Chain A
Amino acid sequence: MKGKRNGAGRLLMALVFLFLYAPIFLLIIFSFNAGNSSAVWQGFSLDWYVKLFQDRLVMESVYTTLLVSILATAISTVAGVFAAIGLFGLKRRWRSPLMSVSNIPTVNADIVTGVSLCLLFAAVFQGWGAFARWFNSIQSAVALPTRLTLGFTTLLLAHIAFDIPYVILNVSPRLRQMDKNLIDAAQDLGCTWFQAFWRVILPEIKPGVVSGALIAFTMSVDDFVISYFTAGSATSTLSMTIYGMTKKRVSPEINAVSTLLFGVVLVLLILSNVLELRQEKLAQRKSALQNPAEYRPVRSHSAAPKVTKAPWFRRAVAVVSVFALVGSVWALASVAGSQPVVNVCSWGEYIDTDLITQFEEETGIRVNYQTAESNEVLYSLLKSGGGDYDVIVPSDYMISQLIEEDMLAPLDYSKIPNFSLIDDQFKNLPYDPDNRYTVPYAWGTLGIIYNTTMVDGPIDSWSAMFDPANAGQVLLINNSRDALGIALMYLGYSVNTTDGGELQEAYQLLADAAAQGVYQGKVMDEVYQTMEGGNAAIATYYAGDYLTMLENNEDLAFVVPKEGSNWFVDAMCMLKNARHPEEAHAWINFMASTDSCLANLDYIWYGTANREAIEAYPAYYEELYGEELDQETFDIIQTPPEVLERCEMYLVLPKETRDLYKKLWISLGV
């Protein structure tokens, strides 16, 4: 289509490009920021680029993304070409319905594809587990693994499954355009089928193959939803890592890695454009020489399709094969360097990461450290087969529930000598009455964090969480137990009530407040950024995290409301199907030591159950910072008895009440 070009069209395009690129430029600019904010410029630095290459989590997810995209593209391109040829060879009666089935992944919403694959893998693993147990029981020569989990293999299968249709869709039209007699002719002249394929079919469909492969690769690299449901916990693509980070704070390292990727793609694009142009001119000159009468500048894309597409193919093949080579070398290296590991799942901002390095250096055990958002999310991860963990750090009530459902393994306390350092007050608590499963990690209270510059006078009651006067300024905590809990406390009921009427009342209180626009949002780890940036005035969160926020915004204050609150213990437990029990015990013991507890306490600001550590902390603080630890701060870390008196611990609720919680919680979001 040709026509008049007009200024309005160009202006519109310019505006659209501005819209598309403004956030990207912002990302690039802030990758050079000296501070870690993504909104406040604090000077130029290349620190994030340096840090990027030292950050194992980010680098590994980049590798995983590239590796899975390259492998999936390579496999689905080959498979897709043959599938397209196969489908093309069928009679129309068969071809049409099969093509429709083949197109399902491209038409279906990603989330449906992801969820259904997740269900499939879980079912297959279950079936395999039963088979392996039976097989192992009838013979002893070969021991089959009884437990399979989501991981790289399932991720790759999922990517191939959604990539193949795109290849087929791009190859099929080329096949249809092809002169069918060509193949017959080739075979009549003595070619085998495969020779005919190489010499006749492939050159004809090449442009389709290239664009199919490119689309497949782009889809794989950019995919988040399907990976999220099929990769499990131990494998993380860049998208998944970023999604995890968007919940608390996206490290500018991610900006840096994106800037680098963007740069590489940009250079490739420019190069290919320049080369193509040169080739085009060459072709023009040639045709002009051969046929001067027909000389005309190439205007539209269709004028010289073969000339423009061919170099693309060679280049794409070269790029893909280089990546594949690098990828496979890395894969080999990672297999060769198999060392003992422990998979840990904890909460966000809940460990001094130096401790991980220290543990790895001391023991040679590699730590895969992941975080979940809340107890409920952790439970979902465990149930859906997504979480392949050894050690988890759930809270009290969730521990009871996991014990009840027989999901935890009793610990061997002889391998955890540091358990003796735990204060008696934290042993044999209701969630684990005989103390067979747990070693306390940290404890604290739930309270209100507020910005003193944004509210009138100090807050001392949960009523602030429901007051329409604070409309749009309040952040509700995003998990059912805590959110309904604060409403129950405000109403003067027990947080452990099983009375449906009381719960309904608590729900109504929250629902009314929500309807009046009190809540700006429901957040978990997002709370850090929102409160630190002064983007909300009031939030419910945990005591220790308040001190972390205070470091970045000194206008914040914390209170345990007068109506009382929840106090909780998060404890380390080992899952029943843990694959690395020895390493798990080593990790638990390491984290329970006085040194670890001290370092961790100073980082996360939560109370510790380690007697020696809490006694030594004031002196430790003074030595480290050269100033005395003030009592107010210490009281937030170690809630004093008079405050603790009005706090209640969550107990596990019966199944019917849990189901009611779930139902009420969803209704609140709707």
Chain B
Amino acid sequence: MRNKSSRFAIPYVIWMALLVVAPIVLMVVYAFTSESGSFTLDSFASMGDYLSVFTRSFELALIATLICLLIGYPVAYAMAKEGPRFQRLSMALIMLPMWINFLLRTYAWMSILENNGLLNQFFRAIGLLRLLGVDHLSLIRTQGAVVLGMVYNYLPFMILPIYSVLVKLDGSLMEAARDLGANSLAVFRKVVFPLSLPGVLSGVTMVFVPSVSTFAISRLLGGGTQMMLGDLIEQQFLGGSYDPHLGAAISMVMMVIVVVCMALMTHFGEGEEQAVVL
């Protein structure tokens, strides 16, 4: 079979060359050229001006990823302990929100967090605002709101891969550990967690990458005050300050940083392929 079936790889290799490799090569070319088409490093030279955007993006994405992990792991763990019917139901319940457009779900948060939004109205009704002596709590257009948006949108991407690893764990391993005298904390620390690491890693990847590059969430919930890398790139292509060369350079730098982070992480644990196999 080997020899005969390998011919099917050829069209795919051509496809990849055209629609995966060529665009990235083109992006690199753009990053290193000026408007007139000559070679220049100007785009990279001005990168220092955007350092604060880089640090803010990575910081917020990191916080969001950590929160997702802290919430997602216990949920995945609890799910994996349940019976098959309950498991299937909760899987469905976690997948289901993805069918409602993420922009719309984020927009719903806007109406909750506005100064006159539902949450502030609720606080006002129970007298909390009067207690604090303020007219409203500033919830929207803050870093917290952006992180909330990220956690809300990407939490399922943390739960699902961890769950799919945990559910396949061989129960006899844990029994063996317990028989050998480990208490439940030790079982978790020495057996369960190390074995679930591939799921954790792919979950972290799947939350961190879209978080660090988002522009819709920061735009809606950050109100243009919390500029992220995604906003910066979008601005250079379809936004208010057209400059595809600078945009390509920023995209490239971001891509390199993300790839290096991911490579470092996968170096510590293997199983990248678990990421999207449900």
Chain A residues in the interface with B (C-beta under 8 A): 1-6, 8-10, 12-13, 16-17, 19-21, 23-24, 26-27, 30, 38-39, 79, 82-83, 85-90, 98, 101-113, 115-120, 123, 157, 161, 164, 166, 169-170, 172-173, 180, 183-184, 187, 193, 196, 211, 215, 218, 221-222, 224-225, 228-229, 238-239, 242-243, 246, 250, 254-255, 258, 261-262, 265-266, 269, 273, 276-277, 298-303, 373-374, 376-377, 379-381, 383-384, 386, 472, 478-480, 519-523, 526, 530, 533-536, 662, 665-667, 669-670
CA distance A21 to B93 in the complex (A): 9
Contact residues, B222-263 vs A (CB, 8 A):
222-225, 227, 230-235, 237-244, 247-248, 251, 254-255, 258-259, 262
Chain B neighbourhood of A30, CB < 8 A: 111
Q: What would 6 A/B residue contacts be, using CB atoms closer than 8 Å?
A: A9-B82, A16-B159, A169-B277, A218-B98, A225-B216, A261-B99
List B164-183 residues whose CB lies under 8 Å from chain A.
Answer: 166-171, 174
Contact B272 A103 (CB under 8 A): yes
Chain B nearest Cβ from A579, distance in angstroms: 21
Given contacts A2-B81, A224-B103, contact A211 B212 (CB under 8 A): no
Q: Which of A1, A24, A229 contacts B167 (CB 8 A)?
A: A1
Asked whether any CB of chain A lies closer than 8 Å to the CB of B24, the reply is: yes
Within 8 Å of chain A (Cβ to Cβ): is B97?
yes
Interface residues of B in 97-152 (CB under 8 A from A): 97-112, 114-118, 121, 138, 141, 152
Give the Cβ gap from A473 to chain B, nearest Cβ, in Å: 9
In the assembled complex, how far is the CB of residue A407 from the closest CB belonging to chain B, in whole angstroms? 13
| A119 and B24 alpha carbons, distance in the complex (Å) | 9
- The interface residues of chain A lying within 8 Å CB-to-CB of B255 are 108-109, 112
Residues on A with C-beta less than 8 A from B103 are 224, 239, 242-243, 246
Closest residue of chain A to B51 (Cβ to Cβ) is A670
Option from A8, A173, A239, A523 in Cβ contact (under 8 Å) with B101: A239
B interface secondary structure, majority: helix
Interface assignment of B64: CB less than 8 Å from any CB of chain A: no
The answer to whether A238 and B224 have CB atoms under 8 Å apart is: no
Which of A108, A157, A255 has the largest number of chain B CB atoms within 10 A?
Answer: A108
Pick the 8 closest A-B CB pairs, nearest first: A9-B78, A521-B223, A86-B8, A86-B9, A89-B6, A109-B213, A116-B23, A522-B224
Given known A23-B105, A376-B242, contact A261–B100 (CB-CB < 8 A) = yes
Given known A-B contacts A109-B210, A254-B104, A519-B225, A38 and B111 have beta carbons under 8 A apart: yes
Let me know if B111 and A39 touch, CB within 8 A: yes
- Say yes or no for B13: interface residue by CB 8 A criterion: yes
Cβ contacts under 8 Å, B78 to chain A: 5-6, 8-10, 12-13
Residues on A with C-beta less than 8 A from B233 are 111, 115
Please give the number of chain B residues whose Cβ is less than 8 angstroms from any Cβ of chain A in the complex. Answer: 126
**Complex CA–CA separation, A629 to B27 (angstroms):** 57
| A224–B102 CB distance below 8 A | yes
Chain B residue with Cβ nearest A244: B103
Query: Which residue of B has the minimal Cβ distance to A121?
Result: B23
B52 at the interface (CB under 8 A from A): yes
Contacts of B111 in A (CB 8 A): 26, 30, 38-39
The one of A23, A243, A258, A670 in contact with B152, judged by C-beta atoms closer than 8 angstroms, is: A23
B100 contacts A89, C-beta separation under 8 Å: no
A107 to B201, CA, bound (A): 12
Task: Report B-chain residues with C-beta under 8 Å of the C-beta of A265.
Answer: 96, 99
B85 beta carbon closer than 8 Å to chain A: yes
The residue that A111 contacts in the complex, of B49, B95, B109, B215, with Cβ under 8 A, is B215
Q: Which one of B9, B21, B216, B223 contacts A90 once the chains associate, using CB atoms below 8 Å?
A: B9
Docked-complex contact B108 and A24, CB < 8 angstroms = yes
> Shortest distance in angstroms between B32's beta carbon and chain A's nearest beta carbon?
13
User: Are A218 and B99 in contact, CB atoms less than 8 angstroms apart?
Assistant: yes
Could you say which residues of chain B place their CB within 8 Å of the CB of A157? Answer: 19
A21 to B22 Cα, complex, angstroms = 41
Residues in B neighbouring A479, C-beta threshold 8 A: 240
**In the complex, which residues of chain A have a beta carbon less than 8 angstroms from the beta carbon of B220?**
246
- Known contacts A116-B27, A250-B107; decide if A522 and B138 are in contact (CB<8 Å): no
**B237 in contact with A115 (CB, 8 Å):** yes
Report the separation of the CA atoms of residues A438 and B209 in the bound assembly, to the nearest whole angstrom. 46
Across the interface, name the chain B residue whose C-beta is closest to A208. B277
**Bound Cα distance from A264 to B1, whole angstroms:** 42
Least CB distance from A616 to B in Å reads: 38
B267 within 8 A of A: no
Q: How far is the CA of A105 from the CA of B255 in the complex (A)?
A: 11
Q: Once the chains are docked, how many angstroms separate the CA of A528 from the CA of B3?
A: 64
Q: Are A670 and B49 in contact (CB under 8 A)?
A: yes
Decide: B240 and A534 in contact? CB cutoff 8 A. no
Known contacts A24-B105, A106-B275; decide if A535 and B242 are in contact (CB<8 Å): no
In contact, B53 and A670 (Cβ under 8 angstroms): yes
Q: Given A3-B81, A161-B20, A246-B103, list of 9 further CB < 8 A pairs?
A: A3-B174, A20-B97, A24-B105, A101-B20, A109-B209, A215-B278, A246-B220, A266-B96, A534-B116
Query: B50 interface residue, CB < 8 Å from A?
Result: yes
- C-alpha gap A159/B175 in the complex (Å): 46
- In angstroms, Cα B118 to Cα A533, docked, is 12
> Which chain B positions have C-beta within 8 A of A83?
8-9, 11-12, 15
B22-A120 in contact (CB<8A): yes
A164 to B16, CA, bound (A): 10
Q: Once the chains bind, are B240 and A480 in contact (CB under 8 Å)?
A: yes
Q: Which residue on B lies nearest to A662, using beta carbons?
A: B241
Residue of A nearest to B213 (CB): A109
Return chain B residues, CB-CB under 8 Å to A519.
225
B236 nearest CB neighbor, chain A only: A380
Asked whether B216 lies within 8 Å of A377 as measured between CB atoms, the reply is no
Whole-angstrom distance between the Cβ of B81 and the nearest chain A Cβ: 5
CA distance A6 to B205 in the complex (A): 29
B155 contacts chain A at the CB level, 8 A cutoff: yes
- Which of B16, B205, B233, B238 has the most C-beta atoms of chain A within 10 angstroms of its own C-beta? B238
Write out the residue numbers on chain B whose beta carbons fall within 8 Å of the beta carbon of A665: 240-241
Docked-complex contact A250 and B104, CB < 8 angstroms: yes
Interchain CB contact under 8 A, B239 and A38: no
Q: How far is the CA of A357 from the CA of B98 in the complex (A)?
A: 35
**Closest-CB distance, B241 to chain A (whole angstroms):** 4
Would A258 and B104 count as touching, CB distance under 8 A? Answer: yes
Contact indicator B19/A85 (Cβ below 8 Å): no
Partner among A9, A109, A381, A521 whose Cβ is within 8 Å of the Cβ of B254: A109
Is there contact, CB below 8 Å, between B251 and A377? no
A263 CB → nearest B CB, Å: 10
Contacts of B7 in A (CB 8 A): 86, 89
Whether the pair B108, A26 counts as a contact (CB closer than 8 A) is: yes
Known: A23-B112, A300-B84. A9 touches B235 (CB 8 A): no
Residue in B96, B115, B169, B205 whose CB lies within 8 Å of A535: B115
Cβ distance B181 to chain A, nearest Cβ, rounded Å: 18
B101 CB contacts on chain A under 8 angstroms: 222, 224, 238-239, 242, 258
Establish whether residues B251 and A111, one from each chain, have CB atoms under 8 Å apart when the complex forms. yes
Instruction: Give the chain B neighbours of A38 by CB distance below 8 A.
Output: 107-108, 111
A478-B240 in contact (CB<8A): yes
Give the complex CA separation of A112 and B20 in angstroms. Answer: 11
Q: Which residues of B contact A269 (CB under 8 A)?
A: 92, 96
- Known contacts being A24-B108, A109-B254, A119-B248, is A222 close to B98, with CB within 8 Å? yes
Find chain A residues with CB under 8 A from B248 CB. 115-116, 119
B83 neighbours in A (Cβ, 8 Å): 5, 299
Q: Could you say which residues of chain B place their CB within 8 Å of the CB of A301? A: 84, 87-88, 167
